[in-house]
A and B are shown apart, each in its own frame.
Chain A
Amino acid sequence: MNKARSNPLNTLMMHGALILYTLIALFPVFVILINSFKERRSIFREPLALPNAESYSTIGYNTVMQQGDFFLYFQNSMTVTVASLFFVLLFGAMAAYALSEYRFRGNMLMGLYLALGIMIPIRIGTVAILEMMVATGLVNTLWALILVYTAQGLPLAVFILSEFMRQVSDDLKNAGRIDGLSEYTIFFRLVLPLVRPAMATVAVFNMIPIWNDLWFPLILAPAEETKTLTLGSQVFIGQFVTDWNAVLSALSMAILPVLVLYVIFSRQLIRGITSGAVK
């Protein structure tokens, strides 16, 4: 490496710019979190101060626990996200395998058909989706959301997974065939374990939009017992606009699970994006 690219002044300026933007990115989250642990007066008097012995209070969290059923919301979000991811991965991998492994008439066409949904947002069809869910009695059930998110996630999943499945060695699969394994066994026992990293990428990509979606929970499952965490906090905050403690605490409680998930999966996510899976 030569000198031209490592001028100390340049390095300093680069760090300066990055630190500035990092502060901009984190500041709102930080302000919400620290103020959720303060009593009402200090929230207004010194919004930027950390909570201390005098201003510390969890009154907001108490209100949230009493008034909103956040554990239920959390459970619903968890069920919907996990179930949708399961179906996206299972169905997506199966279809990707069929498209990448076998030559049959209409293979290309089927691939294109499944890829259509990458660019077209599923929200456009909301009116008809709602009618269908009402007709089948699925409205206000978690199944409505799981089905929608599965359909939404499949196109990209099939696209990414079939790219990876083409790289699985043919010799391995043929060896399996000679040993008399069925096509299903080859898929589940030989191929799936090999594309596990790609499956993780797909899972992480889908997880955040599903967890954070407000549109479909609002339209398909707004009932109290099927509210997701995102919709639940939206409704809760709407009702408690003037109770700043409760609002800040509710926001913090909504931030926390995502933040924890992000800390666990961020390496996977960043590796997934940077490995060129979405090119």
Chain B
Amino acid sequence: MNRARIRWHILVFLAPAVIVYTAVMIWPLFNTLRLALFSVIEQERVFVGLDNFRTLFFDPIWSEQFWNALGNNFWFFLIHMLVQNPIGIALAALLSHPRLRFAALYRSAIFIPTILSFVIVGFAWKLILSPIWGIAPSMLDAVGLKALFAPWLGKEEYALTTLALVSVWQFVGIPMMLIYAALLTIPEEILEAGEVDGITGMAAFWKIKLPLILPSIGIISILTFVGNFNAFDLIYAAQGALAGPDFSTDILGTFMYRTFFGFQLQLGDPHMGSAIASAMFAIILVGVCIYLFGIQTRMRRYQL
């Protein structure tokens, strides 16, 4: 065999994917990181080093917005971790119960919100929570809790939490499905062995199933993290680019959009936008690295 012969077909098979992927994804990614080091001074693009980051982190006008968006983003993520993933796991545990009737029906119905677009979800909840329409207050009235009603999306202290919960409502289907899939791979013999030892019901879930699905919980956590730190659509659809009231729902995605695209009277600044994108990239990279090297490698995996 002639080793030096170029096998052209390998090149032909690889080329389209590699070219599109490199040109539209990897190259712009690095180019964005590069653009973050430039600025426009007197209508000319000049290299300014880390100046944009200095502005972003330390200039009072910018840094206040940045830390606000970052803090909000962490709160947004925390709500997902504390509400979405436990509910998803609980639903999956119920659905994976052997001989549960209508399981397929429940599964398909609960997944429906996940397939809807943010625009639909954002507006639908905006209407439902609206004090003008009054569905939410009248439903609370029916159970005697009318006093609890507030225009949640319009109040600074509630708006972000409300939107996070709406997002939880929308995406609960994803952890549910992934955990459900993991639960189905647990062999019946293990559970039966547990039963022989008297471990059934809830105890079986905590002591046998949960340790076995920990790797899947790790995966949904990192998916949630990446998804939340580049979220944008829901906030934009429900509250607009200004992420009102008074920036209380501003997260990194909306902050970056406003900065680089401009809004109302503020002109867009692609270089500051790139700087924010770079910060988002760094945050996501740190998260993914913590997961890959800190969590995934230490997690005990059981050979089933």
Could you tell me which A residues sit within 8 Å of B by CB distance?
A: 1-2, 4-6, 10-11, 14-15, 17-19, 21-22, 24-26, 28-29, 31-32, 43-44, 47-48, 87, 90-92, 94-95, 97-99, 102, 104, 110, 114, 116-117, 119-132, 147-148, 150-152, 154-155, 158, 182-184, 187, 208, 211-215, 218-219, 230, 233-234, 237, 244, 247-248, 251, 254-255, 258-259, 261-262, 266, 269-270, 273-276, 278-279
The distance in angstroms between the C-alpha atoms of A279 and B240, with both chains bound, is: 36
Q: Are B24 and A31 in contact (CB under 8 A)?
A: no
CB distance from A11 to the nearest CB of B (A): 8
- Closest Cβ–Cβ distance, residue A186 to chain B (whole Å): 10
Find the B residue at minimum CB distance from A110: B14
In the complex with contacts A122-B25, A127-B260, A214-B18 CB distance below 8 A: no
Inter-subunit contact B110/A1 (CB<8 Å): no
Given contacts A125-B277, A274-B177, contact A151 B128 (CB under 8 A): no
Contact of B112 with A123 in the complex, beta carbons under 8 Å = no
Q: Which of B60-68, B113-121, B143-151, B155-163 is found at the contact surface with chain A?
A: B113-121
Query: Could you tell me if A127 and B273 are in contact, using CB atoms closer than 8 angstroms?
Result: yes
User: Do A274 and B109 have beta carbons less than 8 Å apart?
Assistant: no
A249 to chain B, nearest CB (A): 12
Is B201 within 8 A of A278, CB to CB?
Answer: no
How many chain B residues touch the partner (CB < 8 A)? 92
Judging by beta carbons under 8 Å apart, are B110 and A25 in contact? Answer: yes
Give the residue of B28, B135, B181 whose beta carbon is less than 8 angstroms from that of A31.
B135
Question: Which chain B residue shows the least CB distance to A148?
Answer: B24
Complex contacts, A21 vs chain B, CB 8 Å? 87, 91, 106, 110
Evaluate contact between B14 and A214: CB separation under 8 angstroms: no
**Interface-centre pick from B10, B90, B195, B226 (highest chain A CB count, 10 A):** B10
Central interface residue in B118, B216, B219, B288, by most chain A CB within 10 Å: B118
Select one of B9, B100, B119, B226 contacting A214, CB under 8 A. Answer: B119
B16: min CB distance to chain A, Å? 4
Q: Nearest CB to that of A28 among chain B residues?
A: B124
Is B35 part of the binding interface, using a Cβ–Cβ cutoff of 8 Å? yes
Specify which chain A residues have a CB less than 8 angstroms from the CB of B24 in the assembled complex: 122, 129, 132, 147-148, 150-151
Can you name the residue of chain A whose Cβ is closest to the Cβ of B240? A238
Contact residue among A25, A184, A251 (Cβ-Cβ distance under 8 Å from B9)? A184
The 6 A-B pairs of least Cβ separation, nearest first, read: A125-B28, A128-B31, A95-B17, A212-B117, A128-B28, A151-B24
| Min CB gap B53→A, angstroms | 15
Assembly CA distance A121 to B113 (angstroms): 22
Which residues on A sit within 8 Å (CB–CB) of B233? 212-215
Contact among B27, B108, B177 with A128 in the assembled complex (CB-CB below 8 Å): B27
B273 touches A94 (CB 8 A): no
**A274 pairs with B35, CB closer than 8 A:** no
With A130-B270, A215-B257, A258-B115 known, 4 other A-B pairs at CB within 8 A are: A124-B284, A127-B274, A255-B116, A261-B115
* Chain B residues within 8 Å of A213, by CB: 233
- With A and B bound together, what is the CA distance between A233 and B116 in angstroms? 13
Cβ-defined contact, A26 with B9, below 8 A: no
Q: Which of B10, B35, B121, B177 contacts A127 (CB 8 A)?
A: B35
Closest residue on chain A to residue B125 by CB atoms: A28
Interface residues of B in 1-47 (CB under 8 A from A): 7, 9-10, 12-14, 16-18, 20-21, 23-29, 31-32, 35
Evaluate whether A18 and B91 lie within 8 angstroms (CB atoms) in the complex, with A117-B25, A129-B24, A214-B119 already known: yes
**Contact between A117 and B21 (Cβ–Cβ < 8 Å)?**
yes
Within 8 Å of chain A (Cβ to Cβ): is B296?
no
Residue of A nearest to B181 (CB): A274
Q: Which of A90, A114, A230, A262 contacts B119 (CB 8 A)?
A: A230
Q: Which of B21, B119, B281 contacts A124 (CB 8 A)?
A: B281
The listed residue with most A CB atoms (<10 A of its CB), out of B21, B124, B181, is B21
Encode contact with A along B78-91: 1 for CB under 8 Å, 0 otherwise: 00000000010011
In the bound complex, what is the Cα–Cα distance between A254 and B10 (angstroms)?
43
Residues of A within 8 A of B104 (CB): 270
Question: Across the interface, which residues of B come within 8 angstroms of A110, CB to CB?
Answer: 14, 18
What are some 27 contacts across the A-B interface (CB < 8 A)? A10-B201, A15-B102, A17-B94, A22-B106, A25-B109, A25-B113, A29-B112, A31-B128, A44-B134, A47-B138, A87-B16, A119-B226, A122-B29, A124-B284, A126-B256, A126-B260, A130-B270, A131-B31, A154-B25, A211-B117, A215-B232, A215-B253, A234-B237, A255-B116, A270-B104, A273-B181, A279-B216
- A145 to B167 CA separation, bound complex (whole angstroms): 25
What's the Cα separation between A4 and B199 when bound, in Å? 10
Q: Assess whether B298 is interfacial by the CB under 8 Å rule.
A: no
Contact B21 A214 (CB under 8 A): no
CB distance from B222 to the nearest CB of A (A): 8
